[in-house]
Amino acid sequence: MRFYEYEAKQVLKKYSIPLPNSLFVQNSDSAFNAATDLSTDVVIKSQVLSGGRMKAGGIDFANSPEEVKIKSQTILELDINGLHPVGVLIEEKKNVVQEYFAAVTYDGRAKKPVIIFSDMGGIDIEEVANSHPDHLSRTHFSAAKPFSPFTAKNAVSAVGVTGRELNQLSGIVTNLCKLFLERDLTLAEINPIGKLEDGSIIALDCHLDMESEARNTHSAFLTEIGVPEEDNRQARPPTQFEIDAANVDAADTRGVAGNLTEFDGNLGLIIGAGGGSLTLFDAVRAAGGNPANYCEIGGNPSVAKAANLTKLICSQPKVDKVAVMMNVVSNTRVDIVARGVIKGCIEAGFDPAEKIAIFRIPGSWEEEGFALLERYGVDYVDRSVSMHEAAQRAVQKMKGI
Amino acid sequence: MSILIDENTKFIIQGITGREAVTMAKELLDYGSKLVGGVTPGRKGREVHGVPVEDTVRAFTDNQPIDASVISVPPAFAADAVNEAIEAGIKLLVVVTERIPRKQVAQFVEYAEQEDVRLIGPNCLGIISPGKSKLGGVGGALESCKQAFQPGSIGVMSRSGGMTTEIANSLSESGLGISTAISIGGDAIIGSTYAELMPLFDQDPETKGIAIYSEPGGRAEYELAEYMESTGSKLPVVAFMAGRFMDEMPGMRFGHAGTIVEGKADTTSEKIVKLSESGISVAEKIEDIPALLKQRIS
């Protein structure tokens, strides 16, 4: 779950990382007041979960409250990469003489957290890694042992920083590492960290991601920051179809029947499990099909759960037919899914033989499942028909071939 | 031969009285695996399909050699269960549990490494050496499992549990069969990666080729490509890459926890280039895997 910049800065503040003064506002009148309170030149920053804000016009500068009001209005109305801002951050403008980069994340290869530090902040860090490798350090540390500040010092020192800057930056990176571990983050990045004319060092922009699985552990902390519980923070806001599917999944703890993402097409997909869904979605597209949705079923969901997801998908006006497909299943029972999709289809007011383009779930309890499908006249195939072939048959049926 | 497990592997299930674990225990016993018991705190004295339940791992390891443990407990208890097994001296752990926070995974993976414990998973369906033994839910019920996993010469490694079976099934239908198949887990941090398991397959005289299932997210495929280039492994490897549509949707989350595209190197197209450069064949469809392997096994 990604934090908005204004939320992330509250988090940094709790971890004693120095920041410019700023105020989060949601309309241009409040922006005017914020600028009056700050009484200095300010930066207006769109609060949107997307990179590339500067390029898109989501960041602007102003030196009077009147100018802040006008420019805030423009930024508040500007969508960036399809996302609408939740507000703007009005922040003191600082004169920076040197920029640094610091990030903490997990390295799946080393299986440990890693500090990435550079004295060339503010620009694309992958570019620094390629063209100036001596200006970038990677320092792994243990997630199991207590964090010791020397690790942060090593990371900063490795790019040649010394003197007062070394000590100030080590302090910031130490706090960033503590925050990363204590709050189950998967990314904690400050870019840039700015050194000001008076020699002080502060965090200018940041990006924090918290692991979704750990959200419950930190619910009190998130409430303090003001993050709403139901906010899922995908790359775009969820559609009604997606919200309804999430409710189907949450209503029953047994198995998975959800994680639905809406697409523009007309072929409803009831697919699983995790890897099978990825494979089948690709297969449908490769065959020239237009999926109405991505989803995942697996882990042996109940009949009711499979039925409710099917009913939801079949009820979407844009869905002409549905394809029910999985890899050869181990722990999910074929007969239970078959019963569920037939029930859901009928409850939505459709004839399963017409609405279900194909049923391809081989594996445990398949004989019982296939017998049921036979009775309702549903077109089904066993494991001798591959996932890609099944996807192709579904697409052909959509095209009336 | 096989890797990691064989017909003599004696093991327990931690969390054996859970709904899914009870089904798994039945399937493992049906398959002939040497499951000797299970652990659920407070349930000592019960039996699950005829094997005893104890409160602690020590209750087993104090009295007999235990080669492995399958950990199937709720996510909140998983790290503790792993630590208990490591401390009791068990050297092979299969962590089935999904949705364990990444920090906890990093912590117990580090502990396992220190103690020379081989850890598979988390978020996996386990290991199977067809005709000998299986640890975990991989393959499911007996008949369907035997049909999908026939003994043979191909090693399988997969980030998806379900796709382990799908790939194995196509290898069995083609007559190649499987030496050992491992569902390595779908999380961003896992105990054993493709590259870390490859040396075991390289040393196994029965394994003649490798099939892997791969997804967007992470750098495990790069690590495998580097292993292939640096060791000059003789085994032909065929990879299948799912989730190609995700390249167009950075930041969205699909499939497993490890499947989120965070940078260019995470995308399927970048990974396909890297795998191909290292001599790994990339299959367009699952059913193409056996033929690609046969071409390369001389």
Task: Give residues with Cβ within 8 angstroms of A304, minimum separation 6.
Answer: A252, A340
| Among the partner residues A112, A212, A286, nearest to B106 by beta-carbon distance | A112
Name which residue leads in pLDDT, A236 or A203. Answer: A203
Distance CA B173, CA B155 (A): 15
The verdict on B285 touching A (C-beta cutoff 8 Å) is yes
Model pLDDT, residue A216 = 86
Q: Which two tokens stand for residue B103?
A: 């920090």
pLDDT band at B263 (very low <50, low <70, confident <90, very high): low
Q: Model confidence over B93-118: pLDDT tens digits?
A: 999 999 899 999 999 999 999 999 99
Q: Which residues of B touch A365 (CB under 8 A)?
A: 141
Q: Which residues of B touch A214 (CB under 8 A)?
A: 101, 103
| Among the partner residues A108, A283, A331, nearest to B140 by beta-carbon distance | A331
Model pLDDT, residue B266 = 81
Model pLDDT, residue A234 = 66
Active site residue B256: yes
The verdict on B212 touching A (C-beta cutoff 8 Å) is no
The verdict on A253 touching B (C-beta cutoff 8 Å) is no
Chain B (7-46) residues lying within 8 Å, Cβ to Cβ, of chain A: 20, 23-24
The verdict on B102 touching A (C-beta cutoff 8 Å) is yes
pLDDT(B255) > 80: no
Domain boundaries of chain A, sorted by first residue: 21-92, 96-225, 240-398
CA distance B65 to chain A (A): 28
Residue contact A278–B246, C-beta within 8 A: yes
Q: Which residues of B touch A116 (CB under 8 A)?
A: none
Residue contact B158–A275, C-beta within 8 A: yes
Residue contact B264–A126, C-beta within 8 A: yes
Q: Which residues of A touch B223 (CB under 8 A)?
A: 109
Mean predicted confidence (pLDDT) in A144-155: 96
Chain A (307-336) residues lying within 8 Å, Cβ to Cβ, of chain B: 326-331
Give the residue from chain A lying closest to B109, CA to CA.
A111
Nearest partner of B71 among B90, B44, B52, judged by Cα: B90
pLDDT band at A176 (very low <50, low <70, confident <90, very high): very high
Helix (H) or strand (E) holding A129: helix A125-131
Model pLDDT, residue B248 = 84
- The residue type found at B130 is P
Pick the CATH number of A96-225 from 1.10.1670.10, 2.40.110.10, 3.30.470.20, 3.20.20.70: 3.30.470.20
Pick the CATH number of B10-296 from 3.40.50.261, 3.30.200.20, 1.10.540.10, 3.60.40.10: 3.40.50.261
Crossing angle between the packed helical segments A303-314 and A240-250, to the nearest 10 degrees: 170
Helix (H) or strand (E) holding A352: helix A352-355
Q: Which residues of A touch B169 (CB under 8 A)?
A: 328, 383
Distance CA A238, CA A233 (A): 9
Mean predicted confidence (pLDDT) in B23-50: 97
The verdict on B97 touching A (C-beta cutoff 8 Å) is no
Model pLDDT, residue B262 = 63
Asked whether the bond before A149 is cis by omega within 30 degrees of 0, the reply is no
Three-state SS annotation for chain B: CCCCCCCCCEEEEECCCCHHHHHHHHHHHHHCCEEEEEECCCCCCCEECCEEEECCCHHHHCCCCCCEEEECCCHHHHHHHHHHHHHCCCCEEEECCCCCCHHHHHHHHHHHHHCCCEEECCCCCEEEECCCEEECCCCCCHHHHHHHCCEEEEEEEECCHHHHHHHHHHHHHCCCCEEEEEECCCCCCCCCCHHHHHHHHHHCCCCCEEEEEECCCCCHHHHHHHHHHHHCCCCCEEEEECCHHHHHCCCCECCCCCCECCCHHHCHHHHHHHHHHCCCEEECCHHHHHHHHHHHCC
Mean predicted confidence (pLDDT) in A18-28: 97
CA distance A344 to chain B (A): 24
Residue contact A109–B220, C-beta within 8 A: yes
Superfamily of domain A21-92: ATP-grasp fold, A domain (3.30.1490.20)
Residue contact B20–A126, C-beta within 8 A: no
CA dihedral A151, A152, A158, A160 (to 10 degrees): -140
Mutate to test the interface with A, among B135, B163, B223, B270 (most CBs of A within 10 A): B163
Mutate to test the interface with A, among B27, B245, B269 (most CBs of A within 10 A): B245
pTM of the predicted protein model: 0.92
Distance CA B178, CA B210 (A): 9
Superfamily of domain A240-398: Succinyl-CoA synthetase domains (3.40.50.261)
Mean predicted confidence (pLDDT) in A167-196: 96
The verdict on A300 touching B (C-beta cutoff 8 Å) is yes
| Among the partner residues B163, B244, B258, nearest to A282 by beta-carbon distance | B244
Beta strand ranges found along A291-366 (DSSP E): 293-298, 321-326, 356-360
Q: Which two tokens stand for residue A334?
A: 């074929």
Model pLDDT, residue A355 = 97
Distance CA A392, CA A385 (A): 11
pLDDT(B119) > 80: yes
Residue contact A272–B145, C-beta within 8 A: no
The verdict on A388 touching B (C-beta cutoff 8 Å) is yes
Model pLDDT, residue A233 = 73
Mean pLDDT for all residues in chain B: 94
